[in-house]
Structure 1
Amino acid sequence: MSSELASMCSLTPGSVIALNEIPQTFDFMHEQQSKLNMPQNSQTTVKKINFQIPVVLPHERMYTLNIGNEKFILSGASLSFDSPSYFTDFFLSNSNETILSIDRSPKVFQKIYLHLQGYSIEIENEYEFIYLLMDSSYFKLTKLRERLMREGFIISISNQTFRFPKEIMTQKGNYPNLFSIFYNRIIDDPLIPKQTTLIPPPLSPTIINRDPKIFSQLLSALHGNQIEITSDSHREDLLKDCTYYQFFALEQRLIPHKISKNPFTGREEITIKLEHLKKKGLLNDSIGEMIEHEQPFTVIKYSRPYVDDGIWRDLIVQINSSDVTLLINPSIKFTTLILKGKIAIKMKSILASVTDDYIYEEELIWGVSVSKLTLLIRMDKANGFINGNNMDNQWISSLINAALEKGNDKNQVIEIKLTKSQWTINVQGRNKIWMDCVKFDGLTDVYYFNQSRKFL
């Protein structure tokens, strides 16, 4: 250890380092760090700081601030540390005065007092943050206000306080979010006092009425940890709050999905529920190409926004709804799929971004307008169950032949409710589409539906 560093470390309790010597001392420590080859991003890095304080007020002169019912004594150096300010403006305009009385909270000013003396201050809660922000503006303390703006988020979720660094929410898709919007609104709030305000209007922090346990789990996930999801309802609560807080990238991570490789196509597939699909994640890579009549159909691709980073996989969309009906017309050996209600609206919204080949209409049912979507489909390679029975790959042909042998009405249509089904969307440009079923679970009538009921 050099003699200069040794002399620093052997200061007696009564020793004093002059203010104008401090920068040189920290320059020396910075040089010693470089000699030790310490990484610049290390937590032990000593930054080169300029401790020079402008001489706005005489540094050695003492001033008294009567804040509310308490007295605070500060040197001109401390008041000059964060200047120009309400205090320096007053004492410069009244050079013979050393006392200033202000009707503000002494409890809040305790932290301002420490700040002016050069101490780092800790913000206790969301209320103290708001109060300090208001008074930093009121007293025109620019350094304090900038320091508060660098502070991490301090948020109340159902009266439980959370504090966390802003950096964990700056990833694409998670920013801007509810908290950054709140903070920006606070910064630009016209109620934040200006120096011309006699008594600033009251301003309270925003308290968010959501589940603090769910938020704690989301916060842990934003730090890179895994959430142990205990049930479907738990996952839904997480997803709802991701949407509420606008954590869209995190939401995509939590959405249930399955990625696998199809050994027969050699391509990766992603299975995801219809309600979780985003239009901006869809790709019809046949659009813009010269489409020949015999050109094979192309499977719609999907890339989860913010998560897959442009990795496109064949999409398998899963539909869980009782409003999905498979129609089989034996006379013309034709199959179509009918979706109604909300599921029809969602599917139409998805398809509209990749094709124009669908029939969408509104029909009246008991005087109520209901959305209806009709799609051309193929079932020849689908695996699934009807009324709990596993169907072979010729089940539709067998059903059609049986109906024809009975000589049924040519206009008769067989209806099967598909409670769960998985599909690929196959397109040729924007003008043609086939939905190919890969897996299904269906019921033919109310008897088999009742068979699935359970007693309470």
Structure 2
Amino acid sequence: MTSIASSDAGPLTVEPLSERNVSRIPLVLPHERVFPIQIGSELFKLSGASLSSDAPSYFSQYFVCQLEVAKDRGDESNSSIRTLYIDRDPAVFRDISLHLQGYHVQPRDGEHFVRLFSDAQFYSLPRLISQLYEESIFISIGHREFQIPREIFKDPGNSPNYFSLGFAAFFSRPDDLFPGLDREGLIRPPSILPPSVPKRSAETFAELLHFLRGYPIRIRDEMHRQDLLSDARYFHFKGLEQRLIPHSLSYNQATRRDEIVLRLENIQKSGISVYISNHSPLSGFVQYARPYVDEKPAELIIEIGGETTKIHFSGGNSRAEFFRDTKARVAKLLELVSSKLNFPQTNQSHSQLASLGNSLLKEDLVRVALEPESAIILDGKDYLEDFINAAASESSGGEYPRKRRRVDGDSGDEEWVIKTGQWRLRIQEAPNGKGVECILVAAKLDAMSSQLPRNMSRGFLGS
């Protein structure tokens, strides 16, 4: 053994080159013989050991045939071995020859990578192909080149993605890198351009990589968030997308439950679950855990905006009507909630809730509850005072205020357009005692009782 002095880690022991070490290289070609290869205008002479180190290959097969022909002729001298001529770039082969001699060759950029990979495929060098497949991904995005370590994509939430499905699939077929082309008699492989995505933003992608490396996400404004989300979806980073969507996580001391607020359009089927109370088997609430991100579910509060909700107050009942895409989304959500329920002794309960989503698409309305804890802004004013006055009037036997009376039982009808609302989804026993129902409990509402506040908020064009 040979010792080399080292001031930091003590002496390093290196095993000297010996016949035992050399024998680890398969004996495809005689290790001690030198074989000539002409690449373009440059002549390379490589030992049999070097050529055997990454075999079987185009080189090893060629020279094995040469040796067999020479042996049949009874001439095994070096002059009997013909030079292999290949019209390729000698600069690229210079790096390949270093690889064959045992050096680690690392691509410098995207162009160098595809040239190495293309020639490694053309020469059928399995070990170099495998090594290049494990190297960083080189890709140009928005005319800026990125070198992306593959371990960034090992998170199951972000894989498979654009790169593993596209880039890696293309550069991982040693048997068919050039589909449709016959390798037999192929003079040279077709030219390959470095992978590029010219129509995406380099700055946005750099931020996505920054987040994928584990740094905290900081959103400057809503436009910035939409840019990040758009590219996260384009590159199929599902886990990162869930971290980027608007959400709020908090702990509610009153209910002693974690809560998550999400927009209706961002809810994923796989994140929905239902909590059923141990004390009342026909009551519970809907929970949600962001796929790939949250380890445990929290009580779900859905946010619905865009003025796509209208509450009808009639006969002491309040029901919500939904419009446009929101109607179909709420229907699908209620169907999904029903599928998550498991009442072994109340099949009728399950079937009743299961039909709720379908009935919503048939113009039926969803029952809603406005509670004293519901934060309501009506026509731009705080609605909390009406609830307080209502409670005071009820205790004194006086008449209810107008708005509160309509909500709680007056025959007069009223409608509110909800600009934005946040709702809990409560599972409870149906009023008729037959089965269960899912109702929306208002957490916070921004509502209008007429067109006046909407018109007052309008602005003139160009002003």
**TM-score computed with the length of structure 2 as normaliser:** 0.78
Partners in 2 of 1:302 and 1:272 — Cα distance? 9
Partners in 1 of 2:364 and 2:36 — Cα distance? 77
Cross-structure match for 1:268: 258
Cross-structure match for 1:376: 367
Cross-structure match for 1:94: 66
Cross-structure match for 2:444: 439
Superposed CA offset, 1:272-310 (max 9, x none): 2212211111112349x9xx9x7563110111111112x
**Secondary structure at the residue paired with 1:300?**
strand
Cross-structure match for 1:298: 284
Cross-structure match for 1:5: 3
Matched, 1:136 2:108: no
Equivalent residue letter for 2:30: P
Conservation of the 8 A alpha-carbon contact between 1:323 and 1:340: yes
The structure-2 alpha-carbon separation of the partners of 1:441 and 1:401, relative to structure 1 and needing over 3 Å to count, comes to closer
Cross-structure match for 2:383: 391
Cross-structure match for 1:191: 178
**Secondary structure at the residue paired with 1:422?**
strand
Equivalent residue letter for 1:374: L
Matched, 1:242 2:232: yes
Conservation of the 8 A alpha-carbon contact between 1:286 and 1:428: no
**TM-score computed with the length of structure 1 as normaliser:** 0.79
Partners in 2 of 1:91 and 1:18 — Cα distance? 29
Conservation of the 8 A alpha-carbon contact between 2:418 and 2:447: yes
**Structure 1: tracts of 5 or more residues without a match:** 10-15, 24-49, 363-371
Q: CA deviation at 1:211?
A: 0.9
**Secondary structure at the residue paired with 1:270?**
strand
Equivalent of 1:127 in 111, 114, 119 = 111
Conservation of the 8 A alpha-carbon contact between 1:336 and 1:376: yes
Conservation of the 8 A alpha-carbon contact between 2:282 and 2:436: no
Conservation of the 8 A alpha-carbon contact between 1:239 and 1:251: yes
Matched, 1:76 2:60: no
Q: CA deviation at 1:403?
A: 6.3
Equivalent residue letter for 2:426: N
Partners in 2 of 1:230 and 1:423 — Cα distance? 27
Equivalent of 1:283 in 273, 276, 282 = 273
**Secondary structure at the residue paired with 1:249?**
helix
Conservation of the 8 A alpha-carbon contact between 2:2 and 2:16: no
Q: CA deviation at 1:256?
A: 2.3
Equivalent of 1:59 in 14, 19, 31 = 31
Q: What are the within-5 Å matches in structure 2 for residues 349-428 of structure 1?
A: 349-355=332-338, 356=354, 357-358=356-357, 359-361=359-361, 374-381=365-372, 382-392=374-384, 394=386, 398-399=401-402, 413-428=413-428
Partners in 2 of 1:452 and 1:52 — Cα distance? 81
**Secondary structure at the residue paired with 1:201?**
coil
The structure-2 alpha-carbon separation of the partners of 1:119 and 1:383, relative to structure 1 and needing over 3 Å to count, comes to same
Superposed CA offset, 1:199-253 (max 9, x none): 3234334322311111111111111112321111111111121111111111122
**Secondary structure at the residue paired with 2:361?**
strand
Q: CA deviation at 1:344?
A: 1.8
Structure showing the higher helix proportion among its residues: 2
**Structure 2: tracts of 5 or more residues without a match:** 8-13, 68-79, 339-353, 391-399, 430-434
**Secondary structure at the residue paired with 2:158?**
coil
Cross-structure match for 2:146: 162
Conservation of the 8 A alpha-carbon contact between 1:22 and 1:51: yes
The structure-2 alpha-carbon separation of the partners of 1:197 and 1:241, relative to structure 1 and needing over 3 Å to count, comes to farther
Conservation of the 8 A alpha-carbon contact between 1:174 and 1:249: yes
Cross-structure match for 1:151: 135
Q: CA deviation at 1:91?
A: 1.1
* Cα RMSD after superposing both structures: 3.1
Conservation of the 8 A alpha-carbon contact between 2:276 and 2:285: no
Q: How many residues align?
A: 401
Equivalent residue letter for 2:423: W
**Secondary structure at the residue paired with 1:73?**
strand
Conservation of the 8 A alpha-carbon contact between 1:140 and 1:195: no
